[in-house]
Homo-oligomer: A and B are copies of this chain.
Amino acid sequence: MAVQVDTKVEAIRAQLPAVQSTVYLNTGTNGPLPRSVHQAMSELALEEFETGRINMAGWMKKAELKPKARALLASAFRVQPSEIALTQLTTEGMNVLIHGIDWQRGDEAIITNLEHPGGQLPLYVVARRAGVQLRLADLGIGDGDVAGKIERLITRRTRAVVLSHLAWNTGALLPLKEIVDVCRRHGVLVLVDAAQSAGSVDLDLHDLDPDGYAMPGQKWLCGPEGTGSLYIREDRLGWFQQTYVNYGSVLYGSTDDVGGFFTPNAGAARFDRIATYFPLIAGQIAAMEWLVNDVGLPWAYDRISRLGKLCHDTLTNIDGVTVITPRDRMAGLVSFNVAGITPDALVTALSDRGITTRTIPHPACVRVSTGFYNTEEEIERLGAAIEEIMRDHANAGS
């Protein structure tokens, strides 16, 4: 059995050149690109170069790409294709959601202390432009009674909560279903930054039932940079207005140019990206097909989680290492610090040893991402490298 798993992991790694040149522990920034993704993108790019971007045959072919990507994403997250918008990154989804609300001066929004700029900044913009009052929910590292902490900040003026499903900094997987239940009772929208959960956590979006769920394509889903998706349940599409639009955002032929009337496109496609370099969509499709057909999403989720726990345990067992991530609420992100060594110095020292991780600014720490293509041996190497760095550091200081 162990041999079978190793064989499978080896076969997967053979499709990912990027994981062969380094111990690749930063999928949380960008995942490695599978061979089939690079190939699909290269083929379409070559075709556009050689035959041009103005011929009917090319357009007919490219017209099939977005529906196909939408269907694959919808299936992976157990929703309808009409509930998936194709975006360019998580941050775009958050912008669509946050700017999609017709805020009134004096409205309130809750944001947590664990958010990424992708969720923070669009909210800060509407705070300034629309006079929205922000309430900061201090969730600590994301453990404890998260839903309760949020609920205590809800007032009659609260319109939305902006939060991550899986915190990019502490690695905590927040109890989203419970949070949604609380917010729904108060009529508060839940707008989710899913940058770290999409592709690393088994998702049933109808069951979790957030009002908006903004996902990336280039991290755990191993797609191109410049791809992502956004889930909005079909019967809640009308709760969000369109902001940035192009000709594809509206129903064909629906505009009245005298008065500026128009009808939005059907389904979540009304919130689609307004710019498309088509090889990106070909790559997004290839990534989803590879994950579903060759890797297997359930297997990937399970392996990410098991390697994450292994990493957590490995680091916890090293004297002088403090792991921040709550072990009972995590997936594939592990954040930690080493006594006496700054995160910058540690990331550099690990990089010198062929191990790629990253620093996090708040809380200042080092973050490891365990991808389904990582190996148990790589986690061991990480632990050994940290011990070595600590020894070197102690010797240098003595």
Contact = CB atoms under 8 A, between A and B. Distances in A.
Interface in A55-106: 55-56, 88-89, 91-92, 95, 99, 102
B351 A226 contact: no
A156 interface: no
A136 B257 CA distance: 8
Interface stretch (A28-36, A180-188, A298-306): A28-36
A52 B31 CA distance: 8
Interface magnitude class on chain A: 35 or more
B128 A244 contact: no
Interface stretch (A38-46, A317-325, A334-342, A385-393): A38-46
A377 B70 CA distance: 45
A18 B53 contact: yes
Count of identical protomers in the assembly: 2
Residue in A30, A49, A95 with the greatest tally of chain B CB atoms within 10 Å: A49
Given A45-B42, A50-B18, A225 B277 contact: yes
A18 B52 contact: yes
Secondary structure at chain A's binding surface: helix, strand, loop or mixed? Answer: mixed
Nearest to A216: B275
Contacts of A54: 18, 24, 26, 29-30, 356, 358
A128 to B, nearest CB: 7
Contact of A245 (B95, B134, B276, B278): B95
Residue in A224, A243, A245, A274 with the greatest tally of chain B CB atoms within 10 Å: A245
Given A95-B245, A113-B257, 8 more contacts: A18-B54, A26-B54, A88-B275, A89-B275, A111-B260, A122-B245, A243-B244, A244-B244
